[in-house]
Structure 1
Amino acid sequence: MDRPKPVWNYPLISCDDPLFQKAYDWEFPTSSLEEGKQKEMLKHILHVTACWSFLKPLFSSHGYTLYRSMDDDPWNTYPEPLPKAVRDPKYPYARRCYEADEDGVFGVNSGRIWAARDALGHDVVIKVISDADNPSNEFKVLQYLNEEGVRSDPRNLTIHVLEFLTIYNLVFAVMPRWDAAFRADFGTVAEVMQCGEQILECFGFLQEHRIFHGDFLDQNMGLNIATNSNKFFLIGLRDPSVTRYAVYDFGNSEIYPRDVSLRDFRANPWFKFSNYGLPFRNGPFNPFAVDFLSVIILLQCRVRHIENIVPAVGPYFDRLMSYDDDSRPTAREALVDFRQIVSQLSVTQISEKISTHYWKDGVVYKK
């Protein structure tokens, strides 16, 4: 994979134009998520939509045709009829799992992101990641992850950046469109275990490079499909022979020196402990241990529901959840144990169809 193309630049926009001036302003204002703030949220949605519309000609000049909004909902978008979609996209682009353009709906869930199609017919997403005059941590991390030697590592299961564009002092990352990883149905034990293994491998790689993700939630893991992103539990989309996963959204990330200790290092990055049901930490903490704890919490939800078929996953997660930050295994160590479980599964177990969706607080939720 070639490294991202050079950054392009345009002059600064005037204050009379509708474009938000700072990358941070494109995201939902925190206050708009509060009860009774629906009008503020709608105003922001319409403003962001206008910003993307304003930029259409500039993205078009680089070969990207932004998706159009549906008439009844500006944040339900779908591809324009031209350019025509590639029938059989190759990696790093996602598998196209829709026929008509109207079925390739991309539901926008962040003001920073909009979908587009490139001149060759590949579906991509474009994300506002930084101010050009004050590079964000996300920009720095994505640049690093897409350097030639780092990108070519097969364990680097993070989303590819195809190129960076700088327009009006805003930096945009262009990436393949990979839809959210946990909306399509899991059909077999093999599909569940493949997902778990790839997540662990990616975080082992991130820890090795001393990268703290800081926001690993369901919506920040991608699956190499492009379909109607508003539809849940679509079946038959996880054949292990063609399925890949990728971690994305590095908006809360940090990159630390390679020589810091995974065990002893302490820092104070932003981390929303309440997203994981964890108590707030006062003062510096081990960012790698806390980051990996968020991975364990998500994996337990998404893997442990097959404990009736793979009994070993129960003790595996009990053990990982029992450690404190100082003694928690690294992602690489947890991956070794996970692969040991996979290696001991019989052909019957690995191919068995599953009837459950997820595990939470000891309860298994069925399909």
Structure 2
Amino acid sequence: MDDAERKRKVLREQLRAGGSRLSFSRLTEGEEWWASRQPWLESCGYILRQRYRPGWEASWHGTQKDSLECEDHMMIFHWFLLDATRASDGKPVILKRINTVQFPDEVEITSMLSASPFASDHRNRCVPCLDVLRVPDEDSLSIIVLPLLRRYDDPRFDTVGEVVDCLGQILECVQFLHDHQIAHRDIKSNNIMMDASNMYPHAFHPRDQTMRADWEGRAHHYSRTERLVRYHLIDFGLSTDFGVTRPPYLDYPALGGYKTVPEFQGDGYDKMHDPFPTDVYYLGTWIRQDFLEGRFGGRNNDRVAFSKRLGLEFLRPLVDEMMREDPAARPSIDEVMDKFNALASGLSSWKLRSRVAKENDHPLYSMYLSVTHWCRRLKLVATRRPAIPCPDGTC
């Protein structure tokens, strides 16, 4: 059982222990905001799940069913996000509600990056903006429509080549942003997502992504090598577009998810800094925590949140450079790309096809993964699939 599966199992057990029949029967305040605007959203071409339609009553009422077995128990975790279906083609989407006073540039930057000429650059893996809705009678609120994505590492990586593909795509995306004088300013694990639609022969449910969209069983998937995926950077709420401004590019700190940025410590928060080296630091932090060392959580930061991935130590020298304390001593994103490509090109096919194990995997589970990995590996070698799923970077 991997980290994501373990977390979901614990959550379900906690909900059952807490009397889940009642907890899902009523909409939360955040859900009520969306449900009250269901007719307007439908008129805009977006269909909400049954839970958010007028007159909804919990399907498990008056039955012996456990609420967790019913699709309409699935609540939203974040009040500003809701899943929907685009009426014109049945495409699953995410609606993101944005306070344009609090985040004045997010709608503009997100939509701009999906338009010409940015959209034609193959390095542009910023989340596509499918639509922008202005909320009636709410001058400070807009909704951007995004494709349904999932965490970049769920399901887990099978091979080193798949990790190299992921890192290469995200590094290229940041290079694309920096080439256009745009600093993301909040690169972190949960702002890196994946369009995994190719991996799933049956679409996955937007809220419980282990389940099929039709709630008819678990969502089975292929590996990334078998079915190519595209990674995306999301959340441009803290981003800065310097446009035609001439260097030096300076701005006051935007405190993103990683709080260890050296230049922000002490009185650094009150000073202006170049945000582009900070983006490089954020990238290094993401790679170090999620791939090289693992991450801890819990009240005392003593619980393993994500296990260390094994077999990726070839990345450490580059990560150490990216996380240098002096921003001026960090490599630029162009230098990072050059060094990363040199590292990747130096890996043998055997290394790239090797399995990415996790430090805390149970021995029996690890044995199961090894067997299934080798079955896939022999098949992929026989069919001449590339060891790096997207070797030309155009996925």
Matches within 5 A, 1:115-194: 115-119=83-87, 120-131=89-100, 136-168=104-136, 169=139, 170-194=141-165
The answer to whether the 8 A contact 1:222-1:248 is kept is yes
Give the number of aligned pairs: 285
2:36 maps to which of 48, 51, 54: 54
Structure 2 portions without partners, runs of 5+: 1-23, 57-68, 198-203, 211-219, 294-307, 361-365, 370-395
Instruction: Specify whether residues 277 and 345 from structure 1 end up closer, same or farther in structure 2 by C-alpha distance, changes over 3 A only.
Output: same
1:187 alignment partner, SS class: coil
Partner of 1:109: 77
* 2:277 counterpart letter in structure 1: A
2:316 maps to which of 310, 314, 318: 314
Q: In the aligned structure 1, how far is the partner of 2:348 from the partner of 2:131?
A: 44
Instruction: Specify whether residues 240 and 290 from structure 1 end up closer, same or farther in structure 2 by C-alpha distance, changes over 3 A only.
Output: farther
Shift of 1:291: 2.1
Shift of 1:294: 0.9
When structure 1 is superposed on structure 2, of 112-121 and 305-314 the one drifting more is: 305-314
The answer to whether the 8 A contact 2:84-2:92 is kept is yes
* 2:332 counterpart letter in structure 1: T
* 1:141 counterpart letter in structure 2: I
Instruction: Specify whether residues 143 and 105 from structure 1 end up closer, same or farther in structure 2 by C-alpha distance, changes over 3 A only.
Output: farther
Say yes or no: does 1:349 pair with 2:360: no
Shift of 1:199: 1.1
* 1:145 counterpart letter in structure 2: L
Shift of 1:214: 2.1
The answer to whether the 8 A contact 2:47-2:86 is kept is yes
Q: In the aligned structure 1, how far is the partner of 2:119 from the partner of 2:194?
A: 18
Say yes or no: does 1:304 pair with 2:292: yes
The answer to whether the 8 A contact 2:292-2:309 is kept is yes
Partner of 2:251: 267
Say yes or no: does 1:285 pair with 2:273: yes
The answer to whether the 8 A contact 1:155-1:202 is kept is yes
Partner of 2:166: 195
Partner of 1:29: none
Partner of 1:20: none
Instruction: Specify whether residues 164 and 260 from structure 1 end up closer, same or farther in structure 2 by C-alpha distance, changes over 3 A only.
Output: same
Percent of residue pairs identical: 22
Structure 1 portions without partners, runs of 5+: 1-41, 75-100, 359-365
Q: In the aligned structure 2, how far is the partner of 1:105 from the partner of 1:207?
A: 42
TM-score between the two structures when normalised by the length of structure 2:
0.64
Shift of 1:327: 2.5
Shift of 1:110: 2.3
Q: In the aligned structure 2, how far is the partner of 1:215 from the partner of 1:237?
A: 29
Say yes or no: does 1:252 pair with 2:254: no
2:341 alignment partner, SS class: helix
Structure number, greater radius of gyration: 2
Shift of 1:292: 2.0
Instruction: Give the alignment's Cα RMSD to 1 decimal.
Output: 3.4
Higher strand proportion (structure 1 or 2): 1
TM-score between the two structures when normalised by the length of structure 1:
0.68
Instruction: Specify whether residues 292 and 316 from structure 1 end up closer, same or farther in structure 2 by C-alpha distance, changes over 3 A only.
Output: closer
Higher helix proportion (structure 1 or 2): 2
When structure 1 is superposed on structure 2, of 271-280 and 111-120 the one drifting more is: 271-280
Instruction: Specify whether residues 107 and 251 from structure 1 end up closer, same or farther in structure 2 by C-alpha distance, changes over 3 A only.
Output: farther
Q: In the aligned structure 1, how far is the partner of 2:261 from the partner of 2:345?
A: 32
Q: In the aligned structure 1, how far is the partner of 2:226 from the partner of 2:72?
A: 23
Q: In the aligned structure 2, how far is the partner of 1:121 from the partner of 1:303?
A: 36
Shift of 1:185: 0.7
Q: In the aligned structure 1, how far is the partner of 2:337 from the partner of 2:73?
A: 35
1:312 alignment partner, SS class: helix
Matches within 5 A, 1:208-227: 208-225=179-196, 227=204
Instruction: Specify whether residues 231 and 171 from structure 1 end up closer, same or farther in structure 2 by C-alpha distance, changes over 3 A only.
Output: closer
Q: In the aligned structure 2, how far is the partner of 1:55 from the partner of 1:241?
A: 37
Q: In the aligned structure 2, how far is the partner of 1:314 from the partner of 1:55?
A: 49
Q: In the aligned structure 1, how far is the partner of 2:92 from the partner of 2:73?
A: 11
Shift of 1:308: 6.0
1:260 alignment partner, SS class: coil
Q: In the aligned structure 1, how far is the partner of 2:126 from the partner of 2:74?
A: 20
Partner of 1:295: 283
Instruction: Specify whether residues 325 and 134 from structure 1 end up closer, same or farther in structure 2 by C-alpha distance, changes over 3 A only.
Output: closer
**Cα deviation digits, residues 193-217 of structure 1 (max 9, x gap):** 1111111101111111121222222
Instruction: Specify whether residues 152 and 274 from structure 1 end up closer, same or farther in structure 2 by C-alpha distance, changes over 3 A only.
Output: closer
The answer to whether the 8 A contact 1:115-1:124 is kept is yes
Shift of 1:145: 0.7
Q: In the aligned structure 2, how far is the partner of 1:318 from the partner of 1:206?
A: 22
Partner of 2:302: none
Q: In the aligned structure 1, how far is the partner of 2:159 from the partner of 2:187?
A: 24
The answer to whether the 8 A contact 1:194-1:240 is kept is no
